[in-house]
A and B are shown apart, each in its own frame.
Chain A
Amino acid sequence: MFEIQTHNLTKQFGDLIAVQDLELQIPKGTLFGFLGPNGSGKSTTVKMLTGILQPTRGEVIIGGQSIGSSPLEVKRKIGVLPEDLALFDSLTIMEHLLMAGPVYGLTRKETERRAEQLLGNLDLWSSRHTFVDEASTGMKKKCALAMALIHNPEVLFLDEPFEGIDPVSSRNIKDLLLLMVGKGTTVFLTSHILEVVERLVQSFAILVNGQIVCSQTVEETLRSGDTLEDLFFKHVVRGKIEELEWIG
């Protein structure tokens, strides 16, 4: 049984095909990395998988339920760290969690208990009363991550979770993800930091121009003698940097 499945998932914006006929099958309890250069369609895919964006065609099945026909049921099961964090201005970090808990059906007491533990683990407890519009990028990201985790989701979607995060919190997040995967949670993450992905994920796919060009396990990659970075640049063409003679 696959926890995340897509069939012919396609998103078209006018003439631009952002994602084309995407086929994904991710088993339960997997830490899956979704890689690709900027503008390759990663975030568009995450948005379709989490119900923010309607696909032009195709289907998304999460935990056996279609997000198209049962959006609320699916959203109760998933946690999402979106690309632009989707936070509310003028609310503190703690208030974000206190607001999110009851929306996912948690009691006030349970929300407070989990919020305290999460914020402690993410090194946010002392900043819990900071307004998010005045928080640093890393603090905002950790707040959005805490919101994604507070209801103990079965499937977790993380769009660039390690970008702008300090090393201590980054290690805590990795440990947390491994713990969750060990307990059966499925994690789908996108990242540009290939070294982190290589050490963390079990399997991955590389997306270029909206199409999957490579999909395999990390074990298979290492067995072939390549690093993830080698494999990435086999599929992604790197543009030549022009001479900037005026610099320096």
Chain B
Amino acid sequence: MDRITGIIRYQWRAYWRRFARARSLTAGNQGITLIITAVLFFKYLGLLGSAAAALSSGDTKLFQALLTAISLAWVFLPFSTPPSVIQLHGLLHMPLALKAFFTIRIASLVITPYSWIVMVASLAIGYPLAHAVSPWAGMAAALLLVTMSCLIGVTLAHLVSIAMWRRLLIALLLVSVSAAFLLSTENARLLLRVFRFPVDLVTTAAMGRNLVFVISLLLLMNLVVVGLALWSLRVYLQTTPGRRSRRRTSILFHLPTAVGSLAAKDVRYFRTLLDPYLGLLVSALGCLYLVTSDSPSAAIAWLFTIIVFLPNSPLAFNSFGLDSPAALERYALMPASGETIVRAKNLAFVILCTLQVAPIILLTYGRLGLSAGTLGLVLATATAAAYLTWGNWMSLSLPSKMYAYRFAPTTGTLPELMAGVFFGSLPGILAVLVLRSDGLPTMWLAALALIPFLLFYVVVSVRSGRRFDRQRERIALSLKLR
């Protein structure tokens, strides 16, 4: 046990040393986490009071919603923990059993400040539970739910790091969402209940019904999940160090010019983030809407087009986040200007967003005609240009480390992020104005709306290229710190 405690203690020290070395709240996601936490905390406190009052009168809806949020926060906790907190593969040469690795893995989750926030929020759920019919049973069930959610998160985080399992999980997610969309309302509700079943069990325990059965069932579910987590850890430890071999080179490496070849590399990097897969999900939903709706609306189709860009925003706002300091050194060795490197990153963003937006636009053309389709295309182009204009500035000013197979951390501070999202949404606002105008031909207005965004983009990308040449070492240092 001493060995494990020693490892965790030194990893703890190393993490906090890296954290302190940043010396700025804008580094990583510290500033934004602090602000959002404070805002959400006060909101959460208010909701806890309401949930307690509702629960004492037998209304469980709000309590269940809060419990679902807590459960999801625990599922996502392992995804938000940077792998650098504890690098398990670095410990493989030590005489440690699987159980020891498992203990270290679980302990690594509580090193980051985000986990403390989740823990405090989880403890606070005890307040409404204290007003339930059976508070102690409710708290025991809630504790079992939290443990289970955390272990599910750990299992998923391990499996997502393995190529075969990653594909399988993405397919499963897309099938589930499509099924929920395509099924009748009744069946969709049934599907949702399956996912909500553990939360329902906690509520049943809190209301003092079937106590023995509910607690036993939750215990059994926990045992199964512990087994799954241990199995996934073993697979994770065995799989990653092995050689994975590609049979052929990606077709993207056939792209001509320096920008094209560098963009091929960036596409490879960007698609390892989990965020673009949310964009894919939005795109799938948009397509389903356009295919299944009897009379689809152009406004809703455009809305889907704009929403696709939101989860992809880290690719534009923190485009160097997946590069290592060694990669930045390679950029310096190449006869490529900063502008070429920035444009390559932008091209990679455009390629990935095009793959997600193109099906919606094509279906808009098919179902809503030439005019709506073209406006959708203009809107997508203008939105991409707006995101990249703001993103190029933010990528160079506030770079922070991102990790493959994790969600991207928010970067910068709240005002910059809000301004970025607002600027990126400007084309959407203009589209609404275009819709309302009757006097001028719509196409002309759309084209006019596109020009300033493209101009902004051209000017900013040239300036960003020069800034990259000057600030490459500072960016490398920022990426090294976390």
Contact = CB atoms under 8 A, between A and B. Distances in A.
Contacts of A98: 249, 253, 261, 264
Contact of A102 (B261, B269, B329, B337): B261
A100 interface: yes
B254 A92 contact: no
- Listed residue (B250, B324, B333, B337) with the most chain A CB atoms within 10 angstroms of its CB: B333
B327 A86 contact: yes
Interface string B398-419: 0000001000000000000000
Interface string B315-337: 00000000110110110111111
A123 interface: no
B244 A134 contact: yes
Interface string A70-93: 001101100010101111111110
Contacts of B241: 134
A80 B333 contact: yes
A82 B261 contact: no
A150 B249 CA distance: 18
Contacts of A129: 245-249
Given A84-B326, A85-B326, A103 B336 contact: yes
Contact of A52 (B250, B265, B332): B332
Nearest to A111: B261
Given A95-B249, A129-B247, A130-B243, A52 B329 contact: yes
Interface string A84-123: 1111111110110011111111001000000000000000
Contacts of A134: 241-244
A50 interface: yes
Contact of B329 (A86, A95, A105, A108): A86
B253 A99 contact: yes
A103 B337 CA distance: 10
A99 B261 contact: yes
A130 to B, nearest CB: 6
A208 to B, nearest CB: 26
A178 B153 CA distance: 56
B329 A90 contact: no
Contacts of A80: 333
Given A75-B335, A99-B261, A103-B262, A94 B249 contact: yes
Contacts of B262: 99, 103
A87 B265 contact: no
A75 B334 contact: yes
A94 to B, nearest CB: 6
A98 B336 CA distance: 15
A51 interface: yes
B234 to A, nearest CB: 19
Nearest to B272: A90
Contacts of B243: 130, 134
Interface in A42-58: 50-52
A131 interface: yes
A86 B257 contact: no
Given A50-B333, A129-B249, A108 B327 contact: no
Interface in B252-279: 253-254, 256-258, 260-262, 264-265, 268-269, 272
Contacts, number: 94
Contacts of B329: 52, 82, 84, 86
A99 B248 CA distance: 15
B330 A86 contact: yes
A90 B269 contact: yes
B261 A92 contact: no
B265 A91 contact: yes
Contact of B326 (A87, A100, A104): A87
Contacts of A130: 243, 245
Contacts of A99: 253, 261-262, 264-265
Contact of B268 (A84, A91, A104): A91
B404 A90 contact: yes
Nearest to A144: B330
Contacts of B244: 131, 134
B333 A82 contact: yes
Given A102-B256, A103-B261, A103-B336, A87 B245 contact: no
- Listed residue (B242, B248, B256, B332) with the most chain A CB atoms within 10 angstroms of its CB: B332
Contacts of A103: 258, 261-262, 334-336
A186 B323 CA distance: 32
B261 A104 contact: no
Interface string B122-135: 00000000000000
Nearest to B328: A86
B334 A100 contact: yes
Nearest to B323: A88
Contacts of A104: 334-335
A51 B334 CA distance: 10
Contacts of A131: 244, 246
Contacts of A52: 329, 332-333
A89 B324 contact: yes
Interface in B310-359: 323-324, 326-327, 329-330, 332-337
B333 A75 contact: yes
Given A75-B333, A82-B333, A87-B326, A108 B254 contact: yes
B265 A88 contact: yes
Contacts of A73: 335
A87 B330 CA distance: 7
A231 B334 CA distance: 36
Contacts of A82: 329-330, 333
A95 B254 CA distance: 10
Nearest to B266: A88
Contacts of A88: 265, 269, 323-324, 326-327, 330
Interface of A: 50-52, 72-73, 75-76, 80, 82, 84-92, 94-95, 98-105, 108, 129-131, 134
3 closest A-B pairs by beta carbon, nearest first, are: A86-B330, A75-B335, A86-B329
15 contacts: A51-B332, A52-B329, A75-B335, A82-B333, A86-B330, A90-B269, A90-B272, A94-B249, A95-B264, A100-B334, A102-B258, A129-B249, A130-B245, A131-B244, A131-B246
